[in-house]
Structure 1
Amino acid sequence: MYKEKQLVGIAKRENNTKRKYLVVNRLQGKHIPVRPKEAFQMFSELAAQVREAYAGERLLLVGFAETATAIGAALATELDTLYIQTTREDVSGAEYLYFSESHSHATEQKLVRNELDGRIEAIDRIVFVEDEVTTGNTILKIVNLLAAEYPGKTAFAVASLLNGMQEEALEVYRKRKIPVHYLVKTDHSSYTQAAEGYRGDGKYFAKDERPALVTELRVNGKMDARRCVQAREYRKACGELWTTIKKTDFFVDKKRVLVLGTEEFMYPALYVAERMEEQGIFVRCHSTTRSPIAVSSEEEYPLHGRYELESLYETGRRTFIYELDKYDAVLILTDARDGGRGVDTLVNALKSCGNQEIFLVRWCSHQTHASSHMVCCPRE
């Protein structure tokens, strides 16, 4: 059983008047580096609640981008269900259902509609998976959207690591017959005041766009969870990705390794990191993020160093990585097709912390010219 203080760190959102605080989960592997085993243990406890509640039902789990994509995938693989994540990226050939996350720094969310049209008759319940539910308003938006698109076709439920919903919001869910599952109940009444009390005097590093050399491996066989996948097949594909990485020598004789995911692409990074941890290696895993969060020198504050990056997915979009350190080797895992200056900024941020052996693995869904060997790629 988890306690609030084990999981919850209160941080200050940068230039966001809608919600001034951000709950940073200490074990999730998003903003703070984490042992992959600890992240998966936490996800497994939430999966157990869903398994007990809906034994015998045909489930579709929906993980919310970007922070809950790994949680949703982990639950789906453990429960052997269908899985899809929401996204803010463009998916080739997709038609979308749009909804908004009004408190977020990036408000637009999308769900690929094509993937539901042919499957809805085989789904008894859609379970929305989140890292943290505060008011429940965002999930109600997508529930209302799906209920209108597919009237009477499916039931709904919510599963999150943290739940801060007040009684009035929970009553709305009860009346709508939408069960709510969570590991820890939180009280957000003091979070705004706590966030405003921090100094925000941590270390901020501007993006460095100079061309950077990085050893790159392109691996075919990607499954994209922005489209509906059978979770067991998704995990199998991640296993094949790991098998290819294992054949390289990048982590041989390395005692400390960092595995980094990129934005929405989190689960494969955690999966690979867990496999490395099983090899007896000291491994930490987290990922880049769109979230602009203040950092502070105060010890109790969850984030102390912030590196500004350019997104690997969209030119000109700011992204960030927090709490970097020096490791014997760093593995960046991404499904971004190119990355451009985004790769440069991430590699330069890692090098500024003393990291010298940096490897980029790009998971591709089709054959590429560099798919069968490792190439040293300067970014122009």
Structure 2
Amino acid sequence: MYREEDLVKIARRENNNKRKYLVVNKLQGKHVPVKPSDAFKMFEELADSLKQEYTKERLLLIGFTETATAIGAAVAISVGGKYMQTTREMIPDVGYLFFSEVHSHATEQKLVKDDIEGTIQDIDRIIFIEDEVTTGNTILNIINILEKLYPGSLHFSIASLLNGMDEEALERYRQRDIHIHYLVKTNHESYTQIAENYENNGAYKKPNLQSAEGSYEEMTVSGWLDARRMIDSACYKDACADLWKAIEKELEISASTLVIGTEEFMYPALYVASCIEEKGSCVKCHSTTRSPIEVCKEEGYPLHCRYELKSLYDKERKTFIYDLAKYDNVLIITDSQSEEKTGIDTLVNGLKLAGNKKIQLVRWRK
């Protein structure tokens, strides 16, 4: 059983007047480095809240980009069924369902429409997986679109680690018979004030764009399954297990290891990190993110040092990683199919600034 203080830290969004605070969950492996077993324990507790209720239904679980992609995949694998995630990336030669996440700095979300239309007749219920639900409006946006396209054919549920919906929002969901599951109920009334009490006095670093070639080892592993497309959750776990087997052959187990995922690509990094942890290494895992968050020196604030990077997916896009430290070994795992080196150069140079010398890059490709 989790409590609000176990999961919730409040941070300040940068230049976002729609919502000035950001809820940082210190166990989900996004912004804050986490022990992978702690993340998976939390994910499994959320999955347990779903297992008994939907045993006779054919399920599609949808994880929300960026922060809930690992949660969504882990819950889908535990519960069973189809899985896909929302995305902000461009996928060639597909149609999309577009909807908005209005409080985010990057508001556009989309689902691959082609995949939904190809399997909708085999789905009884869609369960949306989030790290937190505050108003429920974003999920209602996509539910409204789906009900218009596929009237009368679907039931809906949401499952989140945190739920901050007020009574009016909860009633809207009850009236539409949308089931709600969560681990911790939160009250957001004080979050803006908490965020504003912190000073913007943390460390801001901008690693250089110089080539990092020679500073890291690189390997390519085939068998990539793209969770932005609809996949069978069991097949996804098997693919991640094969990814780990390939990495294990080349990996020297060290006393301390950091595993880094990239943006929307979180679950495979956490999965591999958990396998390394089982080997006896002291492992932490987190990922790069599009989210620009202010950092603060105060001990109670969740993030203290920010590195501004170029994206591994698009060199024109800023991304960030927080609170890097020194480890015996760093393993970066990405599904970026781009040959562009600028993103990896900035990430490796950032890791070197934090004192890391042994850095390995794994590219998961088709």
TM-score, structure 2 normalization: 0.98
Paired letter, 2:182: Y
User: What does residue 378 of structure 1 align with?
Assistant: none
Provide the C-alpha distance between the structure 1 equivalents of 2:323 and 2:166, rounded to a whole number of angstroms. 32
Structure 1, residues 37-81: CA drift from partner, whole Å, max 9, x if none?
Answer: 000000000001111221211110000001100000000111121
Q: Which moved more, 1:321-330 or 1:204-213?
A: 204-213
1:337 Cα deviation after fit: 1.3
User: What does residue 116 of structure 2 align with?
Assistant: 116
Does residue 359 of the first structure (1) align with residue 360 of the second (2)?
Answer: yes
Provide the C-alpha distance between the structure 1 equivalents of 2:118 and 2:318, rounded to a whole number of angstroms. 36
User: What does residue 222 of structure 2 align with?
Assistant: 220
Provide the C-alpha distance between the structure 1 equivalents of 2:10 and 2:161, rounded to a whole number of angstroms. 15
Does the CA-based 8 Å contact 1:251-1:257 persist in structure 2? no
Paired letter, 1:271: Y
Structure 1, residues 96-140: CA drift from partner, whole Å, max 9, x if none?
Answer: 000010110100001000101111111110000000000000000
User: What does residue 83 of structure 2 align with?
Assistant: 83
User: What does residue 138 of structure 1 align with?
Assistant: 138
- How many correspondences in the alignment? 363
- Give the 5 Å matches for 1:100-111: 100-111=100-111
Structure 1, residues 306-356: CA drift from partner, whole Å, max 9, x if none?
Answer: 000001111211100001000000000000112420000000000001100
Equivalent of 1:243 in 242, 245, 251:
245
User: What does residue 318 of structure 1 align with?
Assistant: 318
User: What does residue 15 of structure 2 align with?
Assistant: 15
Q: CA RMSD in A?
A: 0.7
Structure 1 gaps of 5+ residues are 366-380
1:92 Cα deviation after fit: 2.1
Does the CA-based 8 Å contact 1:311-1:342 persist in structure 2? yes
User: What does residue 69 of structure 2 align with?
Assistant: 69
User: What does residue 156 of structure 1 align with?
Assistant: 156
1:94 Cα deviation after fit: 1.3
1:85 Cα deviation after fit: 0.2
Secondary structure at the residue paired with 1:128?
A: strand
User: What does residue 96 of structure 2 align with?
Assistant: 96
Secondary structure at the residue paired with 1:244?
A: helix
Provide the C-alpha distance between the structure 2 equivalents of 1:280 and 1:2, rounded to a whole number of angstroms. 26
Provide the C-alpha distance between the structure 1 equivalents of 2:111 and 2:244, rounded to a whole number of angstroms. 28
- Give the 5 Å matches for 1:301-340: 301-338=301-338, 339-340=340-341
User: What does residue 232 of structure 1 align with?
Assistant: 234
Provide the C-alpha distance between the structure 2 equivalents of 1:110 and 1:333, rounded to a whole number of angstroms. 24
Paired letter, 2:203: K
Does the CA-based 8 Å contact 1:310-1:316 persist in structure 2? yes
Structure 1, residues 215-247: CA drift from partner, whole Å, max 9, x if none?
Answer: 110111000000000000000000000000000
User: What does residue 288 of structure 2 align with?
Assistant: 288
TM-score, structure 1 normalization: 0.95
- Give the 5 Å matches for 1:151-300: 151-213=151-213, 214-248=216-250, 250-252=251-253, 254-300=254-300
User: What does residue 346 of structure 1 align with?
Assistant: 347
Provide the C-alpha distance between the structure 2 equivalents of 1:92 and 1:39, rounded to a whole number of angstroms. 33
Provide the C-alpha distance between the structure 2 equivalents of 1:53 and 1:104, rounded to a whole number of angstroms. 32
Q: Which portions of structure 1, spanning 4 or more consecutive aligned residues, are displaced by more than 6 angstroms?
A: none
Provide the C-alpha distance between the structure 1 equivalents of 2:45 and 2:70, rounded to a whole number of angstroms. 14
Provide the C-alpha distance between the structure 2 equivalents of 1:56 and 1:357, rounded to a whole number of angstroms. 49
Paired letter, 1:307: Y
Provide the C-alpha distance between the structure 2 equivalents of 1:31 and 1:114, rounded to a whole number of angstroms. 32
Provide the C-alpha distance between the structure 1 equivalents of 2:43 and 2:153, rounded to a whole number of angstroms. 28
Does residue 34 of the first structure (1) align with residue 34 of the second (2)?
Answer: yes
Provide the C-alpha distance between the structure 2 equivalents of 1:286 and 1:170, rounded to a whole number of angstroms. 32
Secondary structure at the residue paired with 2:289?
A: coil
Provide the C-alpha distance between the structure 2 equivalents of 1:50 and 1:210, rounded to a whole number of angstroms. 48
Does the CA-based 8 Å contact 1:29-1:285 persist in structure 2? yes
Paired letter, 2:138: T
Structure 1, residues 219-276: CA drift from partner, whole Å, max 9, x if none?
Answer: 110000000000000000000000000001x333x10000000000000000000011
Provide the C-alpha distance between the structure 1 equivalents of 2:206 and 2:245, rounded to a whole number of angstroms. 36
User: What does residue 25 of structure 1 align with?
Assistant: 25
Secondary structure at the residue paired with 1:118?
A: helix
Q: Which moved more, 1:338-347 or 1:239-248?
A: 338-347
Provide the C-alpha distance between the structure 1 equivalents of 2:238 and 2:48, rounded to a whole number of angstroms. 21
Structure 2 gaps of 5+ residues are none
Provide the C-alpha distance between the structure 2 equivalents of 1:93 and 1:219, rounded to a whole number of angstroms. 24
Provide the C-alpha distance between the structure 1 equivalents of 2:301 and 2:359, rounded to a whole number of angstroms. 29
